[in-house]
Chain A
Amino acid sequence: MTAAHIAFAAFALITVVSAFVVASHRSIVHSAFGLFFTFFGVAGLYLTLGADFVMAAQILIYVGGIMVLLLFGVMLTPSRRSDFVPARFLRALTLGAIVLVGLLWVLKNAHWATQELASPESTIDEIGRQLLTREQYLLPFEVVSVLLLAALIGAAYLARRRKIVD
């Protein structure tokens, strides 16, 4: 039982418990706030894996961006609690069980290459170098940025003020 194990257990607990709240709570706003803790727990899991940049990006993008957007949308919808429908619950349970069995099967049969990890170094230098080196990931990086730009222009086009034609 090392410090890494304790940290992993704590973050995993936060993630799983809050994810359960997200899935099971009747009020959609509660689910949204539960998702906030899930994102935090996942960020912590990234940290225990030594991926510090991914951890900060997770918080910045999911908590600071997507979460706010989600809450914005959720608050504008009527806060009606969803009803418990047994047939729907049964269908979800069946589907969930199938996915669970599939995942367990994959986990059992996958070949896990394990090795003892050294104390994690900061990854940010290496990420920067790899993203901006031509032999590495420069082209995909730039293509993704163009894709994002296209998405941005598309969103602005959809949300623009239309002239009223009579």
Chain B
Amino acid sequence: MFEQSIILSAIRDAIDWVLGLVGQDISILPLPVQVVLCGLIAAGGLMGAIAFAVLIYVWMERRIAGRMQARRGPNRVGPYGLLQTVADTFKLLRKEDIIPTGANRILFAFAPMLVLAGVVAAFAAIPISWDADKGEPIMIADIDLGIFLITAIVATEVIGVIMAGWASNNKWSLYGAMREAAQVVSYEIPLGLSLLVPVLIVGDLSLGAATEDQLGGNWLIWRNPFMWAVFFIFYVAGLANCKRAPFDLPEAESELVAGFHTEYSGLRFSFFFMEEYASMTLISAIGAIYFFGAGDLFGLQGSSSLIMFGVLLFKILVSIFVMMWIRWTLPRLRIDQVMTLGYKVLTPIAFFLLLGVTVWDLYDLNDKLWELFSRS
């Protein structure tokens, strides 16, 4: 259990050190307690990191939106308006927690937690850096199932959204939930197919293995001519899966008030808000790790895992910026256009690309073409 992951064993050592202050060591705790304790600490850290990132993202989003619409955006609270989100968070915390009379209280309260938990849990299988000394990825749980488990866990988020929409007892909410169900289930197909391609090339489902495979500038995006198209499909399907504009139909505020979270206020609303940014980060992180070399900068980063973490973070931020750019540029699609795009455009192209990559790898066309060019 603890040998499998650098972060968990580090947490275990930290607990050991703290217990050392009172003259004990970790072996006084039974193993199940140790496992649960380390898991809880890791989950808490993850949650805190995501909450902090969301503060930055919201500020980014509003500043970028302002710039794109030729206005200023928040710039009064703190330097460059950086503390605006902190102030807004306090506002959200102080708001009254309203549960509508006709709503189903239990499901209404449970839905925001389920939605957020699904996305945050997926981060456990994301490697944040690479430890060159041990030759291991730095992640909470280096599971062999990797990306398969991530796609499985993220699927629970849809149930949460449907639960929220139904429990609100509101027509707008229910419409939003139905759209979410139709949209996310449809776009899981092109998303899964486009993720199959990097898995095929790396030959392992674990994202840690993908990180290792791309060290030294050997990024998957350069491996064959199909990869840019595969990445494009992944990115579009990913946008649709995290309900980002132009695919924000479940919450389309001009038609459905606020879609599935119309009835939510205060902290519960902020959970949905955090979920959106967390799933954007998740899609960006998977894109960076599976296509753009994770924390690798053509080998220039040396063996420092901290710099690799920084590089990965930079790549994620670039991707998040592009998502915001798209949001404030493109108009929202209609639901039938969303369905057509998913089933009739992205899915066939994804199948074709999967076939193309397979044939390319099977006949080793990289080497053959290289020979052909170098001979002439």
Contacts and interface: CB of A to CB of B under 8 A. Distances in A.
B149 interface: yes
A161 to B, nearest CB: 12
A149 B158 CA distance: 25
Contact of B152 (A36, A60, A67, A68): A60
Contacts of B184: 68
B50 interface: no
A71 B162 contact: yes
B201 to A, nearest CB: 15
A69 B159 CA distance: 10
Interface stretch (A49-57, A80-88, A89-97, A104-112): A49-57
Interface in A120-148: 122, 124-125
B163 interface: yes
A3 to B, nearest CB: 4
A52 B163 contact: no
Question: B-side binding surface: helix, strand, loop or mixed?
Answer: helix
A3 B37 CA distance: 13
Question: A-side binding surface: helix, strand, loop or mixed?
Answer: helix
Contact of B32 (A3, A63, A124): A3
A124 to B, nearest CB: 5
A57 B152 contact: yes
Interface string B128-167: 0000000000000001110011011101101100110010
Nearest to B107: A33
A157 interface: no
B185 interface: yes
Given A59-B155, A65-B155, A71-B159, 13 more contacts: A3-B31, A3-B35, A33-B163, A52-B143, A53-B145, A60-B155, A64-B152, A68-B159, A71-B181, A72-B178, A122-B144, A122-B145, A124-B144
Interface of B: 31-32, 35, 107, 143-145, 148-149, 151-153, 155-156, 158-159, 162-163, 166, 174, 177-178, 181-182, 184-185, 188, 205
